[in-house]
Chains A and B, each alone.
Chain A
Amino acid sequence: MSAASEGISTAFDPRKGTPGVMRKIRAAAVGAVTLSLALAATACGGGSSTGGGSNDSPKTLTYWASNQGASIEVDKKVLQPELDKFEKQTGIKVKLEVVPWADLLNRILTATTSGQGPDILNIGNTWSASLQATGALLPWDAKNFDKIGGKDRFVNSALGSTGVTGQDPAAVPLYSMAYALYYNKNIFADAGIAKPPATWDELVADGKKIQAKGKQAIGTEGSNLSENIHQVFVLAKQHHADFFTADGKADFTNDGVVAAVKQYVDLMAKDKVVPVSNAEYSQNQSLSDFAKGKTAMVLWQTASATFKSLGMKDSDWAVAPAPVPSGAPGTGAQVNSMVAGINMAVFKNTHNVDGATKFVKFMTSDDEQKLLNKAYGSIPPVKSAQSDPAFNAQGTAVLRQTLASSAVALPQVADESQFETAVGTAVKDLFAEAAAGHAVTTESVKAKLLKAQQQMPKK
């Protein structure tokens, strides 16, 4: 940098000719050198830090929240007062960013690769094992759990979806959700259906009655990969089958899985209780159809808040457990939901480990759990918060019951994320074929699933 000072000092030398031009040239040269050096410096300094956490910035935190409310704005309104409360208690300012679902996983992957990410983040609980494998998240060992009141505070089913069994969880449960059958009471009454279907046969039979009255029976999201996975995973369980072998290998073509996927697609292809247009749905159009009274039923997770935001009155819909083969939900082949939910994780590269842990403790405290889960229509994964009467109401009692007795976690394997994409796409393609009027056979289902299995990482 001595160049700069020297260059400028001579530029002002009055003895020289045409000082104006000289000065400009010199200034340009100096500018060029400075800019080059600055560029070289940034290029060299761009390396990522891959160390553990630190407490370098104890007064701030960045929080990536997933989109739980009807919109990002709703989330900000729900969360900001709580973050202010936290700042009052601890003096730590939390910067909130609500990340849409379409971007969340990519953002997390980018943050993992670069080492530049938030301090705390929400993850879909099914991603726990996949993200755990990257090593980007702080493991919740006994010591860390003690800081937030112990592992025992959480419901077991929710803890079952926090990472690979036998390893320290990669995240802490924050909101729990479960699948249930939401139905339109008025359409049911018009079709003369006294009680909601409890088995798949009843569901199809009721669907026919509803269609006879000119309404659509069941809505699905055929092009939504995660949604497809959640449904066929539970159906596979009902066929005594799994998508992964006990030692974590992909096994998508066993008879049970093929039968499960076929059963789901057959709701459109053979039973014809799902309208063909649903094959291209991927942005919750089926919920919008339901809220408008076009469709009589949807199988969905924690939909009450969404219905309200879509303008449907609480008195117009009711909720029942999702169908099972026997009609009585339970364990084994009678499960009727995945353990859905959101986990909260601490990014290992955080510059405020202690603050982040404090924030997790705050968000999983009884008061916050009650308040937040009420706002989102979800169920608290914290046992002591579940006693609140709000979680025994119209929209929530069935969900709480399902989570407690008949929900099972998606495979906790490192390849879970790839599984969602590969099999989710296979189901989407099968729906597309059904919609186009092509036959969906056991062979065609098996072929699609085989293709999905071939896309999985080789072990």
Chain B
Amino acid sequence: MTTTLPEQGTRPVHKSSPGTARGPRRPGRIKRIGLPYLLLLPALLLELLVHLVPMVIGITMSFKELTQFYIRDWGTAPWSGIDNYRLSVDVNGPVGDALLHSFLVTVAFTLLSVGLCWAIGTTAAIYMQDTFRGRGLLRTVFLIPYALPVYAAVITWAFMFQHDNGLVNHVLHDQLHLTDQPSFWLIGDNSFYALLTVSVWKGWPFAFLIVMAGLQNIPHELYEAAALDGAGLWQQIRRITLPSLRPVNQVLVLVLFLWTFNDFNTPYVLFGKSAPEAADLISVHIYQSSFVTWNFGTGSAMSVLLLLFLLVVTGLYLLLTSRGRKTADA
């Protein structure tokens, strides 16, 4: 690099005064084309360093038997071929079975969470379209969960979900008498709903924000014309709002899906290192499979499988939604 780059750096392009240009024309062209690439180079290297190198290392690790005996110098860890993968997908074995269970819990959790986030966010955004007193204030209030630091927000929920002194049991049991006895939210089967509640609470403001921005782009004349033609509110939403939001929703749902599926902070802060079975999300499960049992090879193999799954889902999703749009446009 040091031998070729100086040439480019020292011979600038003189478009305005060609008479003074030294040297042949050709390097000037290279220079002109080369400069943008040169300026991209640091970003490219950073991208390599920050994203690709760790990914390649992670994939390499998944083919190794990387236990506590080798982590100090993991170059010496023996290659294990596809053993880590075989262990992870063997649903008849305990490890694969647990991973499958965790995967299914995560799928159910993600579908519910994304669906609810989207529905609540869209509803709120549509209601916030009309001007009324206090709209600005409400919009701000709605965004608070999204703006709060995750840890602070989730730990507050953890306190609220406590069995003895939690606000949730106080309201549901002591005041509304909905349950016979105080429920456990942080252990046992209810933990799934606790996790879902926090996730939706944390996620819907983002949907709200994005849909609200998307709504600004729908021409008002459409609604006026529809109203003249006798369309009610529901018909306007169905025939104008939702179709117009389609491109926005396409991205929104994908992003929400990826975030929710991969969410680590919420379950980890809520439940700690060992999540209850009912709320055993895959990110925490992989963390446990690697950090807590000190088997980083198996953990990496699970991560790679997760990556592949998300790639496939994302690819299919984009393919289906884009094709659908093209035919709709045509």
Q: Chain A interface (Cβ within 8 Å of chain B)? A: 1-3, 6-7, 10, 15-18, 22, 25-26, 28-30, 32-33, 35-37, 39-40, 42-43, 48, 50, 106, 109, 112-113, 115, 130, 133-136, 222-223, 225, 276-277, 279-280, 282, 414, 417-418, 421-422, 424-425, 428-429, 431-433, 435-436, 451, 454-455, 457
Contacts and interface: CB of A to CB of B under 8 A. Distances in A.
15 contacts: A7-B10, A16-B12, A29-B5, A35-B42, A115-B72, A223-B187, A279-B163, A414-B69, A421-B292, A428-B187, A429-B276, A432-B276, A435-B163, A435-B188, A455-B95
A131 B154 CA distance: 32
B53 A43 contact: yes
Given A36-B41, A50-B72, A435-B188, A6 B10 contact: yes
Contact of A418 (B71, B163, B293): B293
B244 interface: no
Contacts of B188: 432-433, 435-436
B142 to A, nearest CB: 31
Interface of B: 1-2, 5-6, 8-10, 12, 14, 16-17, 20, 35, 38-39, 41-42, 45-46, 48-49, 53, 67-69, 71-74, 93-95, 98, 162-164, 182, 184, 186-189, 272-274, 276-277, 288, 291-295
Contact of A32 (B38, B69, B162, B182): B38
Contacts of A36: 1, 41-42, 45
Nearest to B182: A277
A238 to B, nearest CB: 26
A16 B20 contact: yes
B198 to A, nearest CB: 16
Contact of B273 (A280, A421, A457): A421
A429 B275 CA distance: 10
A33 B46 contact: no
A39 B291 contact: no
B49 A25 contact: no
Given A279-B184, A414-B69, A418-B293, 15 more contacts: A2-B2, A6-B9, A7-B9, A29-B39, A32-B38, A32-B42, A33-B9, A135-B72, A136-B72, A280-B187, A418-B292, A429-B277, A431-B187, A454-B93, A457-B295
B86 to A, nearest CB: 13
Given A50-B72, A279-B187, A424 B12 contact: no
A429 B191 CA distance: 12
A39 B277 contact: no
A176 to B, nearest CB: 26
B68 A282 contact: no
A425 to B, nearest CB: 4
Contacts of A133: 68-69
Contacts of A109: 71, 291, 294
Contacts of A17: 14, 16-17, 20
Contacts of A435: 163, 184, 187-188
Contacts of B71: 109, 112-113, 134
Contacts of A32: 38-39, 41-42
A277 B163 contact: yes
Given A29-B35, A436-B188, A454 B277 contact: no
Contacts of B9: 3, 6-7, 26, 29-30, 33
A15 B21 CA distance: 11
A10 B10 contact: yes
B42 A134 contact: no
A377 B6 CA distance: 68
Contacts of B184: 279-280, 432, 435-436
Contacts of A282: 272
A455 B293 contact: yes
B274 A225 contact: yes
A457 B67 CA distance: 9
Contact of B49 (A26, A30, A39, A454): A39
Contacts of A3: 2, 5-6, 9-10
A82 B8 CA distance: 60
A39 B53 CA distance: 13
Contacts of B53: 43
B164 A277 contact: yes
Contacts of B189: 436
Nearest to A15: B20
A279 B182 CA distance: 13
Contacts of B1: 33, 36-37
A26 B12 contact: yes
Contact of A39 (B10, B17, B42): B42
A134 B69 contact: yes
Contacts of B164: 277
A113 B291 CA distance: 12
B72 A280 contact: no
A43 B49 contact: yes
B90 to A, nearest CB: 12
A272 to B, nearest CB: 14
Top 5 nearest A-B pairs (CB, nearest first) are: A454-B94, A3-B6, A432-B187, A17-B17, A35-B42
Contacts of A222: 187
B39 A28 contact: yes
B69 to A, nearest CB: 6
B274 A7 contact: no
Nearest to B7: A3
Contacts of B162: 280
Given A39-B45, A428-B274, A280 B20 contact: no
Contacts of A431: 187
A365 B182 CA distance: 53
